Structures are given as C-alpha cells and as structure tokens.
Amino acid sequence: MLSRSAITEFLAQTPLFGPMDEAIRHTIAGEMRAISFNAGQTIFGRSDPGTEMYLVVSGRVRISILSPEGRELSFAHASTGAVFGEIAMLDGGLRTADATAVDAVSVQCLSKPAFKRLLETHPRVAEAVIRFLCGRIRDADQQLEAIALYPIEGRLARFFLATAKAAAPDDTDAQITVDISMSQSELALLVGASRPKVNAALALLEASGAIVRNGTRITCSISELEDIAGTA
C-alpha cells in the first residue's frame, strides 16, 4: 500500500493534480483510499450512481458502453496516472459508461464528500478540474471526428501517435518505440472497428513503414503516421 507521501508524489505526475500546489496534493492524498480489482471485474456500470472518482496506480481500465444490439464501444483505456469516473461524481448524475478492469488494477479512490471538502478549503482545485474537463471534451471531439471521418488505418495512426507522444512527450526522434500491452480485440474496441479489419489495417501500416511490430512493442515512424493520420 502506498504511503501518503508516495501518493502525493504520484499525484504530481498526473494531468489533473500535477498543476496543483504540493500542499494541496498532500491534502488530497490524505483523503484517498486504496482499492484493488481483479482482471475482468466490473468497477462500476452504466447508470450506477457516481459517488467517487478513481486514479489508476497500476493496471488498465476499459471505459465502454454496450449498445442495445450487444455491440461494445470502448471510449478509452485508463492506465497508470489516468483519472476516471469524475463526471458522475461532479454533476451528481448516473454513470455514463461501464468501467472494467482489463487486468489486475490498483486505484486510489476519492469520494464525493471528500472532494466537496477540498473545494470548500482549496478553491484552486475547482480551477484544475475545469481545465481537466475541457481537455476531456477536446479528446472526445477528436475521437468522434476520427471515427466519423477517417478509415481504420487513419484511426490507428492517430492512436499510435497519441500513445507515442504520451510516452515520450519531449522526444523529437523520428521513431519512438512504445509498449502496446493490449490485445487486437481491445484495440478494435478503441478505434470502433472489428478485429479482422484492425488486423488488416495494422498490416497496411507496417507495409507502409509507419510501424514495426515486435510482440507488444511497436516502433512508430512519427512522420509516416502523421501523413496517414492527416495531422502532418
């Protein structure tokens, strides 16, 4: 179990809590509690009440919805340093998606009462949350745009670009190697396509020199991916 000091240091590396003062992060760390989930375990379901938000310490969480026809669409994977479950906690509504542990997951949980106490004593927390939610909206817009307007290889190119830049934000190399520790089925859910179509698109990306696959490790050619993704 992480100590309060370790949680404070971990919070400093996250997009939501990183911009806050260390004293605020230390207070937040004191309000959090550790929870673990097994692979395949449901963390919360769509339409559940939202009583807390989560920060991923280790593992990967699938955020998805299930259509009336039984088709699953994955919005994102929340991995180490990611926050999820914040929307329903903030607005008092119901959960808008399912959250499922892809593998063994460890999280730090912040309850709604604890968050309200933080807002009352630290107004700058609200500013940080607003900036964070604006980023969420931008990401959602880009994901919808990619699914609506781009072929599968373009969506995959955007996914690899985002993953590479998140893993090495200050790296200006022409090639960046990342570890994509997910199955093709999980990848298919993220880009809104079937597994066979994703497999074919991956082969096209590799044939074009945009990626090189070595097990779960993917070497990304940034310029080639940008051309395919339409972001060059």
CATH of 150-229, one of 1.10.10.10, 3.30.950.10, 1.20.210.10, 3.40.50.10710: 1.10.10.10
Written as tens digits, the pLDDT of the chain (232 aa) is: 789 999 999 999 888 888 888 999 999 999 999 999 999 999 999 999 999 999 999 999 999 888 777 777 777 888 888 899 998 988 888 998 999 999 999 999 999 999 988 888 888 888 888 888 888 777 776 766 666 567 888 888 988 888 888 777 777 678 899 888 788 888 887 787 888 998 999 999 999 999 999 988 999 999 999 998 877 6
Residue 89 to residues 52, 109, 153, 157, 180: CA-CA distances in angstroms?
6, 12, 36, 33, 30
* Tokens coding 178: 């990342």
Collapse the DSSP code of 49 into the 3-class scheme (helix H, G, I; strand E, B; otherwise coil) and give the result: strand
* Tokens coding 100: 């499922």
Break the chain into its structural domains and give their ranges.
Answer: 4-148, 150-229
DSSP for 199-221 reads HHHHHHHHHTTSEEEETTEEEEE
Q: What is the pTM of this model?
A: 0.70
Q: What is the CATH number of domain 4-148?
A: 2.60.120.10
Place of tokens 């298919």: 188
Task: State how far Cα 108 lies from the chain centre.
Answer: 15
As a whole number of angstroms, the distance between CA 141 and CA 36 comes to 31
* Tokens coding 151: 């072929």
